Chain A
Amino acid sequence: MTQVESEETKSFYADKLKRATHLLLFRRGKMPGAKEWELKEKVGKNYKQVLDQLNQMLGELDLEIKKVTDAPTGDVVEEGRAREEEETRYYVTLKGTLGLKEAKMIGWRIDNLAALGGAVAYLISKQGKAPREDVEKVLAYKFGRWKAATLVDIFMRTGYLEEDDAGVMSIGWRTNSEVDLRALMTKMAETKL
């Protein structure tokens, strides 16, 4: 009897795991990942247990599930505050990090990565918001004025940076999902010149 029950539970979880994997990995709209309510609706009330199980399995493949709450204001300092009323998304991200060669293989140029790192670090030092001219000025010193403007446009298009009507730049949804801001700032501070 106990064995039958355990097999039933196993198949029940296997089905839910598949559904959660599909939701998290296959892109359906403009943004990847799945919203909390989608998972609740399609996986069930115990979706958190299912995600924990899936996270363990993905961990073996150097992947992990990340929970990101959209920050509409872009204020970095308010990151830890609970925002039940706001949108929460779950993504599958790389658990470890990539090397320079691997980053090149997936289509990233070194100077683009350097510019993105610089722009994000500068924005964090300004509490997540800065006028676009300031961001471009910081990048222009290294990459030139025209390239800096082009790179900022690219980062905005890909969701790493955002700009409001007043020309104030902030950190985009993609940076919040993909970049460990604390690690970035620590590394920046630790780097010897």
Chain B
Amino acid sequence: MTETAKAEKSKSGRKLLAAGRRELREIIETCDAIEERKFNPFFLDVNLGVETLREYFPHWQGFQDHCLDAHAINRLSEVVRLQNTQLKFQSTALYAEPEFISKKIERMSEKRLAEVFLQSWHPVTELEQLTQETVSASLDYWNFLLPIQERWKRREYERGKAPSSADNSVLDGLGIHGKEFAEQMNGLCNEMKQAYEMEQKPIEYWSFVRRANHQDTVQRAYFVSFLVTYGYAKLHTEGELMTLVPNDQPTNKTPQGGISFPIPIPIPKENGTQ
């Protein structure tokens, strides 16, 4: 046999194996769906399934293929069991076509449906009482419960300062309004451009924003958010890494299709950790 013929034979053998595996997986999936009651058990022609297994059985070589074959046989036997159950069920007084019952439920009034159910319903009679467990749980709850005055106090502490309006003078004082604000933003934009020209690669967000003072960090993050929103810079994210690239031709408009991307700033603890 020539090399070409050998290669051809091996190729057709691989194709046959692949087709066989695919068919077996399809059989297993159908059997699983039948077991989950998605289809009627008679939806699958078990004889055809067995014939398929018989057809591919001589070609299996590896352990995995034999396992797949055994699994398919197992699933088919489960379908046969379900078919048997279905036949037994059909011979009982409980049998009714699911479509027939669905239609009845759709068409019957709620009251009539409730009446039908009540005619076959015999609720369990029982008496509930305190048990050792419930008494002990109640005692624990009572012991841990603070007096109502203390609970109300705690709520008052949690209540924050009510929101109030801020006028221009307040915003000027905070450095987020007026001429000073525009100057600071331009300054930061220039700083970003310089950093980009020097490094010739996107600037890491946190190294650009973070400063020793937490207030400065927040202020820089705040200005950077404006630069990104108005198209002076682009923010790229890749996993946890965020980078900034200054824009040469800012549009001074919010970019189309942009999304809101909140960046939480960790508050440092007194000992310097975050």
Indicate, yes or no, whether A interacts with B.
yes
Binding site for B on A (CB under 8 A): 25-28, 32-33, 63-64, 66, 75-78, 91-100, 103, 106, 110-111, 113-114, 116-118, 120-122, 124-127, 129-131, 134, 138-139, 141-142, 166-168, 174, 177-189, 191, 193
Asked if A186 and B93 make an inter-chain contact with CB atoms under 8 angstroms apart, the answer reads yes
Q: Which of A113, A114, A168, A178 counts the most chain B CB atoms within 10 A?
A: A114
Asked if B118 and A177 make an inter-chain contact with CB atoms under 8 angstroms apart, the answer reads no
Asked if A110 and B104 make an inter-chain contact with CB atoms under 8 angstroms apart, the answer reads no
Complexed CA–CA distance, A129 and B100 (Å): 17
Known contacts: A26-B129, A121-B105, A142-B110. The answer to whether A127 contacts B96 by CB under 8 A is no
- Which of A99, A181, A188 sits near B118, CB closer than 8 Å? A99
Write out the residue numbers on chain B whose beta carbons fall within 8 Å of the beta carbon of A77: 85, 88-89, 92, 94
Complexed CA–CA distance, A129 and B129 (Å): 35
Asked if A168 and B121 make an inter-chain contact with CB atoms under 8 angstroms apart, the answer reads no
Please report which residues of chain B, range 34-89, place their CB below 8 angstroms from some CB of chain A when the two chains form the complex: 36-38, 85-86, 88-89
* A122 (CB) vs chain B CBs: closest residue: B101
Write out the residue numbers on chain A whose beta carbons fall within 8 Å of the beta carbon of B102: 122, 138
Asked if B37 and A131 make an inter-chain contact with CB atoms under 8 angstroms apart, the answer reads yes
A-B contact pairs, 23 of them (CB 8 A): A26-B126, A32-B126, A92-B124, A95-B122, A96-B122, A97-B119, A98-B118, A98-B123, A100-B114, A100-B118, A111-B114, A113-B117, A114-B111, A114-B114, A117-B114, A125-B96, A125-B98, A130-B37, A138-B105, A141-B106, A181-B94, A187-B116, A191-B108
Write out the residue numbers on chain B whose beta carbons fall within 8 Å of the beta carbon of A78: 85
The 8 lowest CB-CB distance pairs between A and B, nearest first, are A117-B117, A114-B113, A32-B126, A183-B120, A184-B120, A113-B114, A77-B89, A114-B110
Asked if B85 and A75 make an inter-chain contact with CB atoms under 8 angstroms apart, the answer reads yes
Q: Does B112 contact A (CB under 8 A)?
A: yes
Write out the residue numbers on chain B whose beta carbons fall within 8 Å of the beta carbon of A113: 113-114, 117-118, 121
Known contacts: A32-B126, A168-B37. The answer to whether A114 contacts B117 by CB under 8 A is yes
Range for the number of chain B residues in contact with chain A? 35 or more
Asked if A188 and B116 make an inter-chain contact with CB atoms under 8 angstroms apart, the answer reads yes
Write out the residue numbers on chain A whose beta carbons fall within 8 Å of the beta carbon of B149: none
Write out the residue numbers on chain B whose beta carbons fall within 8 Å of the beta carbon of A116: 117
Write out the residue numbers on chain B whose beta carbons fall within 8 Å of the beta carbon of A64: 122
Asked if B105 and A141 make an inter-chain contact with CB atoms under 8 angstroms apart, the answer reads yes
**A133, chain B: closest CB distance, angstroms:** 10
Known contacts: A28-B131, A185-B96. The answer to whether A110 contacts B116 by CB under 8 A is no
Asked if B114 and A27 make an inter-chain contact with CB atoms under 8 angstroms apart, the answer reads no
Known contacts: A103-B118, A122-B101. The answer to whether A76 contacts B89 by CB under 8 A is yes
Q: Does B274 contact A (CB under 8 A)?
A: no
Q: Does B115 contact A (CB under 8 A)?
A: yes
Write out the residue numbers on chain A whose beta carbons fall within 8 Å of the beta carbon of B36: 131, 166-168
Complexed CA–CA distance, A106 and B105 (Å): 24
Asked if B123 and A94 make an inter-chain contact with CB atoms under 8 angstroms apart, the answer reads yes
Write out the residue numbers on chain B whose beta carbons fall within 8 Å of the beta carbon of A182: 93-94
Q: Does B6 contact A (CB under 8 A)?
A: no
Q: Does B128 contact A (CB under 8 A)?
A: yes
Asked if B117 and A180 make an inter-chain contact with CB atoms under 8 angstroms apart, the answer reads no
Asked if B86 and A26 make an inter-chain contact with CB atoms under 8 angstroms apart, the answer reads no
Asked if B97 and A125 make an inter-chain contact with CB atoms under 8 angstroms apart, the answer reads yes
Known contacts: A97-B119, A127-B89, A178-B123. The answer to whether A142 contacts B104 by CB under 8 A is no
- Which of A92, A99, A120, A188 sits near B104, CB closer than 8 Å? A188
Complexed CA–CA distance, A131 and B268 (Å): 51
**A188, chain B: closest CB distance, angstroms:** 6
Asked if B89 and A27 make an inter-chain contact with CB atoms under 8 angstroms apart, the answer reads no
Please report which residues of chain B, range 160-185, place their CB below 8 angstroms from some CB of chain A when the two chains form the complex: none
Write out the residue numbers on chain A whose beta carbons fall within 8 Å of the beta carbon of B213: none
Write out the residue numbers on chain A whose beta carbons fall within 8 Å of the beta carbon of B112: 191
Asked if B121 and A178 make an inter-chain contact with CB atoms under 8 angstroms apart, the answer reads yes
Write out the residue numbers on chain B whose beta carbons fall within 8 Å of the beta carbon of A166: 36
Write out the residue numbers on chain B whose beta carbons fall within 8 Å of the beta carbon of A122: 98, 101-102, 105
- Which of A32, A111, A121, A168 sits near B124, CB closer than 8 Å? A32
Q: Does B125 contact A (CB under 8 A)?
A: yes
Known contacts: A122-B101, A125-B101. The answer to whether A27 contacts B126 by CB under 8 A is yes
